[in-house]
Structure 1
Amino acid sequence: MRALAEFIMRGRMQATLVVAGCAALPLLYWLGAAAVSLVLLRRGLKDALGVLALGLLPALLWWLYSADPRALMVLLGSSALALVLRASESWNRVLLVSIAMGVVFSVVLGVAFAPQIEMLSQALIKILPEALGDLYQQMSVEEQARFASLIAPVLTGLIAALLQIVSVLSLIIGRYWQALLYNPGGFGREFRAIRFPLGLAMLLLAGMLLGPNFGPQMAMLTPLCSVPLVFAALALIHGLVAQKRLARFWLVGLYVTLLLFMQLIYPLLVVLAIVDSLIDFRGRMAPKDADNANGEG
């Protein structure tokens, strides 16, 4: 990873080669987004604009000829988040802005993948009586119709939330590279300090629970508002492992469990982040003089 980061920072041509090459490959666009984030964080928009523009060309071709906007969305999304992080030095702000970015993603996906999402939602609606059993039969006709109307927006929100997560992860990789080259250890301290104040955590929880009450299309807020809380919970766990000097095995176990039991662990992480906003598990144990990972100057 360090060798790749050094290659990217060697010059504009090298950075453009990595970004454009990764964007041209369907499964590596996230790596190109991380490379753009690194250049943006270190050198700013002026120097990164040319790299980003050339990197967007293959992503745009994917959208035009394959009807797949994911690479373009992640490149633009991670770049926007990198600008926010560079300007604010606040991961809380980055994660909150990612919700607005996710809403934009949802709108784009609703246009680009409307037939596929509608087909999948209709298939899910057909199996609802069998999946919910007696609970579905106890619903009134109006409740069944309202429940069915939420399927497509939630599916759109889930796909948008996945791209939102990929965009944030690309930024995390770019920030990690920046700290690796210019401020070793800085990113770890920065990431482990992420924690939402109680007010913001409650707002995110309200967005998750109350969003569907403002109309079917607002159901997309449920998955989108959960993403910042999940990252805050992961930061908490990383922080506790570092403070207690536990083996990295615990973190490996966490991510393996998260991948295998996503439906169970994901909501638990959301709850953990909300509880941490109340209790502050790290509390005064967190280092107060932690350096940021900007690596400039």
Structure 2
Amino acid sequence: MRAVAEFLMRGRLQAAIVAMLGIPLLSPATVALVTLRRGMTEGLMIFLWALAPIILFGVFMETPAAAVWLGAMQLGIVLIGAMLLRSSVSWQTALVGIAVASAVCGLLAIGTEPEVLTRLSAQAIEDARETLGAEADSVDLESLFSLTSLAGVLAWATALASTLALVLGRWWQALLYNPGGLGGELRKLRLNPLLAGICMLAWVYCLATEPGLASWGLLAALPLLVAGLGLAHWLVKHRGWGGGPLVALYIFLVIQTLPVTGFLCGMALIDSWKDFRGLTRKTEQ
């Protein structure tokens, strides 16, 4: 991966070539790296180069408009996240920016692509009825697969992909100019108590009201989730437990997303008030 980062930093042409490949995660991460290292102007240039093949595919290859729109929005969100991280040097600010921009993306999907979402909703309800059989009547499938729900899924997926791209871009930057810097930043990540409380309340509200808002709740909890993962990484490194517990954590996070997310968010919320790192330093002195 270091060789890829070195190639990207050789010049605008090299970065533009990689960005134009349109490879998921790689192209957005290229936009992130250039923006983080060289600023908004250069980042915007690479963003435009990455955007070009998406538009061309939409025009000449009859790519669905929704796919073109989604690809363009994700690149834009990564650019926003990278600019915020560069200017503020704060993962908290960047994560909030990504979450808000992704929420706007989801809301725009309802207004600009209602036909696509309606078809997806109808298909999802039909598939669920076939899968559940007689039990389908006991589940509110209309709420679970409503337009609002699907837009939330879209927003959450966009936020997750954008965050991963930004992390990859920051990792590349750390490999070249600040070895170990990304790990140090994420292990130190601790949210403002007010922000952490708002994120938790929004997530709980979405979970408690109706199933269709679950994805919107995950989107609201994104800063808490990343802060919780950062806290877990700090604990494992501080205790010298090796990589095994982290591998297990990420496996369980994929298998049991909501329970593990709830635990991590809860720990991040408590940490925003108690500061586990600071308490540990005081105890060890």
Q: Give the TM-score of the pair, scaled to structure 2.
A: 0.83
**Conserved 8 A contact 1:30-1:74:** no
Please say which of residues 202-211 and 119-128 is displaced more in the overlay: 119-128
Which residue type is aligned with residue 247 of structure 1?
G
**What is aligned with 2:12?**
12
Moved over 4 A (4+): 125-129, 211-220
Q: Does residue 1:245 correspond to 2:246, yes or no?
A: no
Q: Which of residues 43, 46, 55 is equivalent to 2:50?
A: 55
Quick one: distance in 2 between partners of 1:132 and 1:263? 24
Superimposed CA distance per residue, residues 221-273 of structure 1 (whole angstroms, 9 cap, x where no aligned partner):
42320211111111110111111122112212211222233243233322332
Which residue type is aligned with residue 98 of structure 1?
I
The 3 A distance-change label for structure 1 pair 105 and 63 is: farther
Superimposed CA distance per residue, residues 18-49 of structure 1 (whole angstroms, 9 cap, x where no aligned partner):
1111x2xxxx2321111111111111122233
The 3 A distance-change label for structure 1 pair 218 and 259 is: closer
Gaps of 5+ in 1: 137-143, 287-297
The 3 A distance-change label for structure 1 pair 32 and 206 is: same
Q: Where do 1:150-165 residues align within 5 Å?
A: 151-165=146-160
Secondary structure at the aligned position of 2:179 is classed as coil
CA-based RMSD: 3.0
**What is aligned with 1:178?**
173
Q: Where do 1:18-33 residues align within 5 Å?
A: 18-21=18-21, 23=22, 28-33=23-28
**What is aligned with 1:118?**
118
- 1:215 Cα deviation after fit: 11
- 1:285 Cα deviation after fit: 4.3
Quick one: distance in 1 between partners of 2:206 and 2:232? 28
Gaps of 5+ in 2: none
Q: Which of residues 120, 125, 130 is equivalent to 2:135?
A: 130
**What is aligned with 2:70?**
70
Q: Which of residues 214, 229, 247 is equivalent to 2:224?
A: 229
**Conserved 8 A contact 1:234-1:269:** yes
Please say which of residues 211-220 and 183-192 is displaced more in the overlay: 211-220
Quick one: distance in 1 between partners of 2:171 and 2:280? 23
Q: Give the TM-score of the pair, scaled to structure 1.
A: 0.80
The 3 A distance-change label for structure 1 pair 29 and 71 is: farther
The 3 A distance-change label for structure 1 pair 112 and 212 is: farther
Q: Which of residues 143, 151, 168 is equivalent to 2:163?
A: 168
**Conserved 8 A contact 1:29-1:71:** no
The 3 A distance-change label for structure 1 pair 200 and 180 is: same
**What is aligned with 2:256?**
261
Quick one: distance in 2 between partners of 1:63 and 1:223? 30
Quick one: distance in 2 between partners of 1:215 and 1:186? 41
**Conserved 8 A contact 2:143-2:212:** no
Secondary structure at the aligned position of 1:282 is classed as helix
Aligned length: 272
**Conserved 8 A contact 1:29-1:75:** no
Identity of aligned residues (%): 33
Q: Where do 1:100-119 residues align within 5 Å?
A: 100-111=100-111, 113-119=113-119
Q: Does residue 1:95 correspond to 2:95, yes or no?
A: yes
The 3 A distance-change label for structure 1 pair 12 and 98 is: same
Which residue type is aligned with residue 277 of structure 1?
S
Quick one: distance in 1 between partners of 2:259 and 2:206? 22
